[in-house]
Structures are given as structure tokens and as C-alpha cells.
Amino acid sequence: MPARSSWRWHDARHITNEDRPIMTIAAFETGWQCSQVVHDFFHHYDQWRYARMLECYAPDGVWHRAGVALRGHARILEELERRPRAQRVIHVITNMRIEPTSASTATGTYYVTVYRHAGVLADEAVATVAGPAMILAATADFVLMEGCWKFSSQTLTRRFESGAPS
């Protein structure tokens, strides 16, 4: 007989493995909502929807990107508008872990795998790529504002870049 998963909901307060609580439902909900902030941010980034990206940040939030700290919506937008449009970019998010730190704050870590094709393509065209352009390690701090989770800080650090093998 195949082994059954030992994960189950436990009296609507905890997710358990056997008899040991793994996380509270509140922590699960916070993790889910913060993960959606991350996914929404990069989805809008790939679609060039900068106003929607900014909705994912607190007004004074900081995006640490390419060695520069971009503080606030105006500074983030200024940097985004410098981004070359003659490319197709897709960000794939993996290995996400979100940890609530209070009722209104949380931290997270995840990886961002970036695929990039230089040049203009029709929307329905398939881009050719040899592999990922880079892999970033990300850390984030989240804050609950008016019932919505937002980035208070996000740091992206390059861990791998495409190029000749070492």
C-alpha cells in the first residue's frame, strides 16, 4: 500500500504533520498573501506594467537592485523607465519561504531565474534562448498596510550569470 501524506488540517487552527503543529492558519495566510505580492510584482515587471508593480511596494519601500537602493515609488519608476524595451524578459520565482515576524510584518526569501531575449518579437513569436540569463537570490520584508501586504524592502543579489563555464 502506498504511503499517504501525513499532512492534514488540525481543528481549523494549525496545519500538522502527525501530531506536531507546523504552522498556524494565520501564518499560512500571511505566507500565501506575501507570496502573491512577489508573483504579482514580477508578473507586472514582465508585462511592462510599472504602475501595477509600484502597487506592490509601500510608498517608502526600498528595492535593492543591481547594487543601487531605490527608495520610494518615484525613484523606482525613474529606474524602470530606463529599462530597454527591445527585449523579452521572464522572471521565474522558486524556493519561496515566507515567515511572519508579527501580525503586520513578514520576511521572505526566494530565487528569481531570469530568461532574456534581446530584440523585438511579435507577441505570439517564440523567443530562442540558450538558458537563463541569471539567477538571483532575493530577500524581502513585507508590511501590512490598510489590509494589503506590500514590500517594505526587496533585495536581489546575483548568484549566477550566463557565460563561459569556469
End-to-end CA distance of the chain: 47
Radius of gyration for the chain, computed over Cα atoms and rounded to the nearest angstrom: 19
Helix (H, G, I), strand (E, B) or coil at 51: helix
Task: Assign 65 a pLDDT band (cuts: 50, 70, 90).
Answer: very high
Q: Just give the CATH number of 14-161.
A: 3.10.450.50
CA nearest neighbour of 110 among 26, 46, 41:
41
C-alpha cell at 103: 501580525
Task: Assign 88 a pLDDT band (cuts: 50, 70, 90).
Answer: very high
Residues 120, 123, 125: CA angle, nearest 5 degrees: 80
Helix (H, G, I), strand (E, B) or coil at 98: strand
Task: Give the model confidence (pLDDT) of 118-147 as tens digits.
Answer: 998 888 899 989 999 999 999 999 999 999
> Helix and strand tally (H, E) in the chain?
3, 9
Stated pTM of the model: 0.85
Domain ranges of the chain: 14-161
Q: What is the pLDDT of residue 15?
A: 52
